[in-house]
Amino acid sequence: MEIFTTKIALKAHLSAFSSKDKTIGFVPTMGALHEGHLTLIEYSKRATDITVCSIFVNPTQFNDPADLEKYPRPIEKDVALLQSVNCDVLFLPTVEEMYPPNDEPWFFDLGRLDKIWEGAKRPGHYQGVTQVVYKLFDIVKPSIAFFGQKDFQQCMVIQYMVDKLHLPLRLQMVDTVRDADGLAKSSRNVRLSSNGRKQALSLSKALFMIKQAFEKGTGPLQAKEEALSFLDKVEGVELEYFAICNPSDLSEIDRKQQDLRPLVVILAAWVDGVRLIDNIVLK
Ligand code: AMP
């Protein structure tokens, strides 16, 4: 695996591939890699000629400075993991490399998507996400970029930007990878105590409860009520939102829209001082 820390060196390396009509797969990450990230790399390896992973803890997408400070950065372990899945290229820029002093200010109008759920709870988060992803796309010029369903709204935001700006690439959303007991893999899970991890497990349990009830014919809103009363009894879980939505625009469904298919159940919660998100699609 080749490692680049500057835009110029990475671009020079990749231009040789794109000029030979080779396809470039791209997996942007913030590091602290786990099987979720590695699955994205594996998808990219299968679908494209060369796979580029970036690791960059992007300061502009953190609305909480303490969260940025505490974000895990186990870079040596990350490099070994990427080597273990034969990732071709790692881009590992510094903050100064991505945000030089003369950098243009960024604002991208995301409409409603920036004002609901994650957009509402984390003001400025998707501005930071689109800012860094736009920059990374511009450097890597991928044929396909891979994103996890774990960050469902983020996938929608990036697709919206790609469509609006007519960026010449395809996005592929990859299913959420979970621990054997169901907890969605997340770089933030390492910050959970063992008790916190047990409490966090109730989130995926609630999502699977809804899916199971739904598949047996319970109405989605009734299934949600049952999951909410289960979560109510779990100590230490503080929900920020928990909603059943239309996956095309993330609007919350009401009683009249219960026959809509597919649906997505989205949630965000604080457990043990850690903010976690998860979702499940109901077909
Ligand atoms: P992050 O490093 O958290 O910014 O995530 C980088 C990419 O990995 C994003 O596209 C995430 O959606 C994806 N990702 C994170 N966790 C998972 C997971 N458990 N399963 C699948 N993809 C994931």
How far is ligand 1, taken at its centre, from the CA of residue 217, in Å? 31
Nearest-CA residue for atom 13 of ligand 1: 148
> Annotated catalytic sites, by residue?
37
* pLDDT less than 70: residues of the chain: none
Residues with CB under 6 A from ligand 1: 29-30, 36-37, 39-40, 147-148, 150-151, 174, 176-177, 184-187
pLDDT digits (tens, 9 = 90+) for 32-70: 999 999 999 999 999 999 999 999 999 999 989 999 999
pTM value surpassing 0.95: yes
Distance CA 145, CA 5 (A): 20
The candidate with the shortest Cα–Cα distance to 176, out of 208, 209, 152, 206, is 152
What's the CA gap between 138 and 208, in Å, rounded?
Answer: 38
What are the strands of the beta sheet with 251-252, ordered from one edge? 251-252, 237-246, 263-271, 274-282
Instruction: Identify whether the C-beta of residue 28 lies closer than 8 Å to the C-beta of residue 98.
Output: no
pLDDT for the residue 106: 98
The kind and range of the H/E element at 29 are strand 24-29
C-alpha triplet 270, 273, 277: angle, nearest 5°:
35
In the reported structure, the alpha carbon of residue 185 is separated from the centroid of ligand 1 by a whole-number distance in angstroms of 8
Residue 268: the pLDDT is 98
Q: Which atom of ligand 1 is nearest to the CA of 186?
A: 16
pLDDT of residue 271: 98
Distance in angstroms (rounded) separating the CA atoms of residues 263 and 243: 10
Partners of 51 in the β-ladder: 25
Rounded Cα–Cα distance for residues 122 and 111 (Å): 15
Residue 263 tokens read as 């649906």
Calculate how far, in angstroms, residue 18's C-alpha sits from the geometric centre of ligand 1. 26
For residue 30, the ligand 1 atom closest to its alpha carbon is: 2
Q: Which two tokens stand for residue 95?
A: 């903050």
pLDDT of 239: 98
Q: How far is the CA of 208 from the centre of ligand 1 (A)?
A: 20
Q: How far apart (Å, rounded) are the C-alpha atoms in residues 35 and 183?
A: 12
Ligand 1 atom closest to residue 184's alpha carbon, by position in its atom list: 19
